[in-house]
Amino acid sequence: MKIFAQENIDAVVKKYETSPLISMDHIIERNPKTKKVEQETIVIKVSDKTLKDEFIAAINKDKDKAIKIIETTIQGTLLSAVYQFENITYTFYFIGLADKKESDSK
């Protein structure tokens, strides 16, 4: 049964699943006896700033429904994150997208 706690994240993943600007690993864990899917994990690596912003907007809409959240930031910039929902876990890596300080670009 599909749980819709992460519907905004699901929509963005579906939109970009064939984009060359992301890579995606889909891991399925099944019960060995029943073969029923017990947990799905989707690992997404994003290398485009616009896509990162769209993923973060979706994450922010859904993250209050997550049962586990792990976020890695540097100076307030999200670099990676794990969001576990009832039957699916999303892991995001934002590759090479750490925002540079304004003074660094001068």
Can you give the residue range of the structural domain that contains 22? 7-97
CATH number assigned to the domain comprising residue 56: 3.30.460
Q: Under DSSP, is residue 73 helix (H, G, I), strand (E, B) or coil?
A: strand
50 is a domain residue: yes
Work out whether strand 77-84 and strand 88-94 pair parallel, antiparallel, or are unpaired: antiparallel
Decide if pLDDT at 102 tops 80: no
Which comes out higher in pLDDT, residue 4 or 84? Answer: 84
Identify the band that residue 106 occupies on the pLDDT scale cut at 50, 70 and 90: very low
**Which residues fall within 8 angstroms of residue 13, CB to CB, at 6 or more apart?**
24, 42, 44, 90
pLDDT more than 90, % of the chain = 75
What phi and psi values does residue 22 have, to the nearest 5 degrees?
A: -135, 155
105 is a domain residue: no
pLDDT, mean over the chain? 87
Identify the band that residue 97 occupies on the pLDDT scale cut at 50, 70 and 90: low
Nearest to 99, CA basis, from 30, 38, 53: 53
pLDDT (average), residues 70-79: 92
Residue 55: CB atoms within 10 Å: 24
What does the pLDDT look like over 13-65, one tens digit per residue? 999 999 999 999 999 999 999 999 999 999 999 999 999 999 999 999 999 99
